[in-house]
Chains A and B, each alone.
Chain A
């Protein structure tokens, strides 16, 4: 379980880093253009960032949940890891088109 959860934690941390950079770009563009396109991206980015911060908190920091997850059955950790890695792939692609 612990190995799967480490992978999920690493993916969630990378998501936080990438989303912080993206939210920075979208926020700057929204402040400059005040248009709904960057606003939509900004709100989406902030919510996804919040989701990933929560994941990092639960997987790594929360004393009860983190300990429980690490001692739980591996199948749960595996499922969480796959979800987190799919999300990472999605965010990498979004970063690739936005960095342009």
Chain B
């Protein structure tokens, strides 16, 4: 999981925005629309990043398709020191 986090969040073009999304849903779970608004990102960009994050089991989706909220997965919670270390590097 640690390697996946470093790669997905710091090794790819969209890593920066995925970190912002993870920070936002950690603060409080949100849906795609709220994320787009709160982070001032394009809705489609947010959707794409959420798909990547869900695919890699970094965030979980709760609720049905429309308006589903996203939150950090249990697996990412278990590796939260790595996430914090990554967050610290962005500030």
CA distance A10 to B79 in the complex (A): 45
Give the number of chain B interface residues (Cβ < 8 Å).
13
With an 8 A cutoff between CB atoms, is A41 at the interface? yes
Q: Considering the complex, give the chain A residue whose CB is closest to the CB of B49.
A: A100
Give 1 or 0 for each of A32-65: 1 = CB within 8 Å of chain B CB: 1111111001000000000000000000000000
Looking at the assembled complex, report how far the CB atom of A70 sits from the nearest CB atom of chain B, in whole angstroms.
Answer: 38
Report Cα–Cα, A31/B71, bound state, in Å: 28
B10 engages A100 (CB within 8 Å): no
Restricting to B1-24, which residues have a CB under 8 Å from any CB of A? 6-7, 10-16
A29 within 8 A of B: yes
The listed residue (B6, B12, B16) touching A100 by CB distance below 8 A is B12
Residues of chain B within 8 A of A29, CB atoms compared: 10-12, 15-16
**B52–A37 contact, CB under 8 A?**
no
Q: Is A99 an interface residue (CB 8 A)?
A: yes
What chain A residues lie within 8 Å of B12 (beta carbons)? 25, 29, 97-100
Q: What residues make up the interface of B, taking CB atoms closer than 8 Å to A?
A: 6-7, 10-16, 52, 86, 89-90
7 A-B pairs with CB atoms under 8 Å apart are A26-B11, A32-B16, A35-B6, A37-B7, A97-B12, A98-B12, A100-B14
